[in-house]
Each structure stands twice: as structure tokens, then as C-alpha cells.
Structure 1
């Protein structure tokens, strides 16, 4: 079928098409006028959300949180919000609503949940694709109720969003409050252990005590070094004095020894002189010899006394060295003990510092989450509150009539083609060629009348019948 045949069929079946078109348009118009009017109220919300973890305090922009807008849509259309709307508007107390509930559910179930489901069926949420604006719409036969309902949904969504935001902070505040108590007990125990250790060991200022004891150890070490040098020197002098007393420098330098040596030399010289003039048994010689021996005896006694004095000095230095060495060893033990006490106390002080830092950090987070838990700020604001609609949103009369006209035209054309299939007729030369199965060689044009055309068509039908 070509376009010409299609147009000829439409022309021939125009009555069927027109009747179908008129019936469809009329039906659509009547149904549209008979439908009850529905009004839609819309409110716009602006979401300026910054997500914060109440435990870590980290802030995440909303655009970095996947599914944020979808989550808000689910919250708005949740049963929780719908139940709050039912409670706020007191719909469950309406006698008409109770009657409808009994008829619909035969008294089974909860009227509040039933009303919440009805509200959610008439609610629609449309988020913006490129902004943080959400539009909430509600359909109802009563424009005033539609406005009140959608505004109630927006208000309860604001309150619920604030509660959902505050609830984690309140839970975190409770958790941090418990941790503060535990850490405070740990800090008190650590401080008690430190104080008990200081009292037990008698430590007031370990650093100052250690410095004083170190200074004393250094002084004793210096004194010990000096005494050791003196002891070595005195021992050497004592040994020299004991080997050769008169040749010892310490003894020889004594004025008494030097005087006795001079007197001994004079006595020896006098004795030598007398030995030349007198005999050994001469009284004068005997007297001089006794004097010389006496002087020599005094010299040896003085030398022995000085040698003993040098030995005593060496012995004293040795004793002093032993005492100082003992004191140094004792002081070293004391310093080492203080170091050990300081290290042990340092561990206890470190425990106190760690416990204090932990408690300070948790206390800070506890204060922050407590403030957040008491905050009534909301990141959701109503951009455009709903107003009472003046015109119904449905039915749309003009749109329905246009759609009815389109559908009627399509149905009319379809019915026309169907009628043509049931009663196929010759509409043009192409139909003759298709029916007879032979090509059309010529077309005679002239002032042919309709009778001649009908005659030609009748002959074509006869040929078709005979074949």
C-alpha cells in the first residue's frame, strides 16, 4: 500500500474516522469533567549539610558523601515522618478518618499507620540535580489540607533531621562521659602510686638531691685523687728514709740533723787532733771520744725519729686514702640508688602524664559532644513554604482533550483501515493492477462520467469473480 492508496482509503472511510474521533474526544472531555479535582501544594527545602563524626570530629562536606540526597528523600518519605504528621494534625482523632479506617481494614491494624500510608501515597519528593534544594509536593482534593500536610511534612523533617544529627552526639557524649570517669580514676590511681612511692622513699626533689649527691661524689673523688698522690709520695719518702736515713733528703734537710752533723764533724776533728797529741787512754782523749759518740748517738736518734715521722705520715695518708675510697664507694652506691629511684619515679610520673593527657583529650571531646548534643541548630531551612493552590493540578482539561484528540485520530485511522480490510474496494488504477494481476497500460482521460467509471469498475469486479 502506497501513500496514494492510504489517502484514498482515508477519504473513503472518513465517516468512520470522524465518528471515532468525535466519540473519543467527547469521552475524554466528559471523563475529565467528571473526575474530582486534585490540588498539589509544594514547598522547597534548602539543605546546607556538613557531616561531622561526633567521635572523631572530622568534617565531611555533603557533596563528598555518596547517596546523601537519596538518603534525605528516604527520610522525608519514611513512616516516622508520616506518623509525626498524623500526630501533629490529629488525623487519627477525626471521626471521618476512623469510619474510613474501619471500612477499609475492618477494625484490624493501627489507624495511625493506615493514615501514614495514605499520606505517603499522596506525597512526592523531587530533589534538584545540580543544587541542594528538595521540593516536597502533596496531592489532595482539599487545597487547604494539601498545604497544611506538606508544610507539616517539611516541619517534621526539619525536626527529625535535627534529632538524627543530635542523637549520635548525645550517644558520643554519654560514651565520653563514661570514659572521663574511667580515665579520672586511672589518673588518681597513678598519682596515688607516685605519692606513695615518694613518701616511702622520702623523696622531695629527686633532681636536686641527685645534683647534690653528684657534687659530693665529685668532691670526694677529687680528694681521693689528691690523697692518693700524697700517699704515694709519702710512701716513697718513707721507704727512702728507712733504707738510708741520713742520706734521705727529708732527713738531711732537717736543721737539727744539719746541726748535729756539724757538731759531729767538729767532735771528730777534735778527736783526730787529740789522737795525734795524746794517747787513747788520756782523759782528754777519752772525754773527746765520749763527746763524739754522744753526738753520733743523738744524730742517729734524730734521724730515726724523723724516719719514723715520715713513716707515720705515709701511714696516715694510707688510712686517709682508704677512708676516702670507702666514702667514694658509698657515695657511688648512693648516687646509683638515687638514679634508680629517679628512673622508677620517672616511670610513675610518665604514667601520670599519660593518664592526664588521655583525660584532657577525652574531656575536650566530651565538652564538644555535650554542646553538640544540646544544640538545636538545623542545617535544613524552608526556602519556599507551601501556599494554598488556587487551581487544581488534576485533571488537566486541555491536556486531556488534546490527548483524547490524538488517541481518537489514531483509533479512527485504525478503524478505517480495519473496515477497508473487511470490505476491500477499488480506489484507483493501482488497485485494478493489484486485483487483476496485470499492469495498467493506458488511462483514457476525457469527459467521462461517473457512469462510465462505475461501468469500468463493474467489469473489473466481473473479471475478478470469473477468475
Structure 2
């Protein structure tokens, strides 16, 4: 495949392959976190359940008694004026919220404490754990001092309010009064006493409100009566002075004194007559203009006599025309008919003149009548305007009289209603179910506490797991090489246990060989000519599998019939000579020190099929040897002999060797240990390589364990040869 790729034209060579990691769905991501940190989550849940169990067993049992009351909507009002109070439909919520607030009022709590004699009850205060540090709670001769009764009443009320619950039933008028204490009998007594005292206080407020309202209304009635009398005197005096005479209006309201003036009535009547006269004049004028001085008018056409004459003339004209067909005009019969026709024409003209004269007379009469009415209307307008000017103050006095009368009558009616209802003790609150002595404790509830602990533990455990996931920077699976490091993934190599990497590479059916064959395949897409001819293999720190990766890549390339050399570039900690069974007396450091002959520095690894160069004697400072041009010269001379030069480079962190080597080769393969190094350190190492203008081809995830991979990847190296070998091993074992 590599040979074919290298022979392709430049326009047809494959572009570098970029492997993009698929974005993990959010549900799978959270499930992956949960499975990865499942033991932490389960531990937190178990601890929460244990704590809830211990706390529940140590808690003092408490008993809750409940009394149910019904709160009906009040409709009574002290004043019945529109706008003073909201209407019932919009004030229900406000009313009921007020009642709930009154149920939890401090005065009601202190009243209950006083009625049940809890203020001087030592057992009551001890039952709720009230200490006796306050002077009012210190016993004197076995009794509480009388001087501290007010303080004890306040404290007892606060205790009752802390243990009281008011729970309205949704969509109803029922309210449940709950009280919780360590004593079941005390809980029932307080709940019942609370309901009874609430009813009594409600009645007392009504009696007080009725008495106060009656006194207030009586004072307001006297004041309003005085204002009404004064406003009426002002109205009558002003009307007499200005000679304003008004008549009562028809359909006036009960609480108002609507009036109408004589001038306004006359003006309205004459104005109506004027409108009718104008209409009549317009109609007469239209008829007159239609005649135009001739008889061809609508009236003439509708006249019976004229129509009869015209019909007779038409008949005579027809007879005359018939005679003319046989005789001359001088014929006696023809002259007679002609004479009749002329007589009829004179009669028609006279009749039409009579109709026209009648129309003209009607028109003149209509004009005169309109002028007369117009003159009278103008006079009444002047009189009405003068009356309006003088009636402005009159109307002000009239409105004041109407307002005062309305207020007075309303107050008087309300005063009568309060006088009747004041002696009736109607209460809108009643007890539906009195509180019974509870037979079992309401708290603690073991099942509920354990459920709460389970939910809290789950949430806390999930939070801790999420925090640990954010803190953990280890590369867990192959997808994170692209997602977290931004490197194309060349492949993932499984962790080999119980066998040396060299031995695993010699077994062509091993999982290690399969993994590095995938790496070689991806390397073929990193450049236009296939696998880079010179490449180095490095890592962030030692023991991440870079030497094994370099050895494996050299092996797979050699098995692909390529001529390969493996150079041990780690002159500080050499390892390639161990794989070849030789020493490192001769190698890379000798060439960098000035030796030009390459052949004496090489040795063969016959079982793997390629040549190798050891690191040579360990120099005092390897970086100084790499800074010159000798290393680039070595790579250039080796590429004249070999198809590929693979360099086992030192780690990047803490050393300058790896960036120097990376800048002299075509590409760099970066190995990352799975679950073994933080992503920030890898990014720092990649940054050093980038600063050296190194071309990082991609990353290889080494020592990968599929069973420790995150959920959803399903990596399996047991397919194919490995699976068959495992099956055969199982058969032999059985």
C-alpha cells in the first residue's frame, strides 16, 4: 500500500488524515461518570443512610394532633359605599390569607397559653427544653415568680407558634390546625384550645367593630344632616335671587333632584317645529323649482283633470289623423274635431297655470312660516344662554344637595342595619372536627428519613463524582486524545501483562501486533507520500511506552518489506541495545562526536527484520551533541540507505533532547499512557514541541485497558486471532 501511495501523482495523493472524535451524548457522558465513580457514589449513599438511621433512632418521638375548622367568607360591612371595599369575588384570597395570619398571631398564642395555664407550668417549659437562665424562669420556693409572668407568657407563646402548623385544604374553606409536641395529650389540648379561642376572638372583634361602627355612624349622620340642610338653603336662596324656575324632570332617580327649565322646554319645542318648517319649505321650493313656470311638473302629471283632458285630446288627435288620410283639412267633420282639440289645449293650459299658482302659494307660505319660527328660536336661544349663565352656580348647589342627600340616606340605612344586627352573635367560623389524642408519633419517620437520606446521598455522591471527574485529568480512553489534547488519534495499544513486548511482537497473532498495524495504517495517511521516512517517537515522561512503540513501528514497517533502521536517541537512558542483546559501546553518541563511519555503529535485529543503532556511550551532556548539524547529517545519510528511520527519542519534560530531535525529523509520534498522566502535562510537552517547530503526526494511547474505558466505547482486542487463541486455550483447560 505504501509503495502504491508513493507512486501516485501529486494531484492524486491523499491529504493528511485528521481523526475527529465524536462528541459524546450528554446522557452517556453522565452515565459514564456515574459508572467510573460508582464506588464513591455508593459509599456516600451508604454513609447518608447510616447517619439518617442513627439520627432517627436518637430523636425524641413527637405527636401531632389536628383540629379542623371551617372559615366562611364574611359579607358584613360597616359602610356600604361602592369603592370603599373590594368586591367579594376579588377579595376572597385576601380574606383567607388574613384569617391564616390571625391563626398564627402572637396574641392568640399567648391567650391559649394563659387559658391552659401553661405560663406557670414547669413541666411545659421542660418538655420543650427551655432553660431556666432567664430570671422569669427561675423557681422560688418551687414556683415561678409573679413578676416574670409577662415574660413567661411571651416565651410560652413563642413555643406554641414554633410547634403550630396551619394547613388550609386546597379549593375549600377548611383549615387544619396542627400542633406537635412530645406529649400526645398536650398536643390534643392545645389544638382544640387554639380553635376555640380563635372563634372567641373572632366574635369579640365583631362585637367591638359593631359598637365602634354604630357610634361612628351616629356622629357622621349628624354631620351629614347639617350639611344637607345647609346645601338646600343655599340652593333655594340662589334660585329666588336669580328668578330661576325649574320643573321636576320626568323619570328622575330616587336619590337625585333632576329638574328642567321652561325656557329649555320651549326652545326644544320651537326648534323641533323650525326643523319641520325648514323641511316643508325645502320640499315646497323643490316643487316650485320643478315647475319652472311651465305646466310640466309632478303635480300637473298627478292631477286627474289634466290627465283626463290629455287622454281626450289624444283620442281626438287620433280621429283627426284618421280623417286626414281620406279628406282635406277643410272637411267639416275634420274642422269640428280640430276645434275640439284647440278647446282642450286651452283647458289644459288654464289647469296647469292653476296648479303652478297653487305650488307658488305653498312655497311662499312655507318661507314665511320658517322665517317666523327662526326669529322666535333666536330669541329663545338668547334667553336660554342667559339662563345657562345664571344656572352655573345653581347647578353646583344642586349637585351638592344631591350628594349630601345620597350620603345621608346611605348612612341612615346602614345605621338601621347595624342596630338590628348588633345584637345577633353570628359567627363565620366553626369547628368541624375536634382534635383527638394521637395514637402514634408523627416523627421521626424512619422510612421518610431514609428516603430523604437516599436522595441527599445520591445528589451528594453525584456532586462529588462530578467534582472528581473535573479534577481528574488522566486520559481515560482513545476519544479523549482528540477531545482533550487536540491530537489526531493514530491508535490505541492494549496493556500487555505477563509477556515482554518483544516476545509479543514476534507473535504475529498477538493483540499488540494488531494494534500497531492499525497505527501504521493511520501513519500512511499523515503525509502525501505515505508513512514519513524519518520519524521520532517521544512521550511526556519516561515509562509511557515510547520505546515499545518505536520498536513496534520499526517491526511493522520491516514486515511490510521496507528497509528500516531503529535509532536509540535516548542517550541518557538507552534501551535499544538490550533488545538486540549487545552493549552500547558504539552508537549514536560516537557519530555525533565526530565519527563518520556508520556501518560499525549498527547491529542487526534478525528476528524482527531491521537494523538498529544503539545510543552509544553516555555523553556528559547529550543536548550539546544534538545542537550541532551532526544529527541532521546522520538522518540524511541513513535515508540514503534505508526507507524509514525510526528514532526512539527521550521524554520531552525536563530535557532539551526531544525538541532538538523532533526538529530534525519529518514527523513526531507522541505516546500517551492511559490512566497514567495528566492532560495538562501532556499539553505542556506538546507546547514545547510546537515551539521547536516539530510536526506532531498524532498520538498513540498506550497501556490501554478496555475494561477501564469509559462507557460506550466497547473496545475489544479479543477479535480474530486473539479470540480463537482464547477459545483454544479454554478447550485445552477444560
Higher share in helix:
1
User: What TM-score do the two structures reach when normalised by structure 2?
Assistant: 0.33
Name the structure, 1 or 2, with higher relative contact order (CA <8 Å, separation 6+).
1
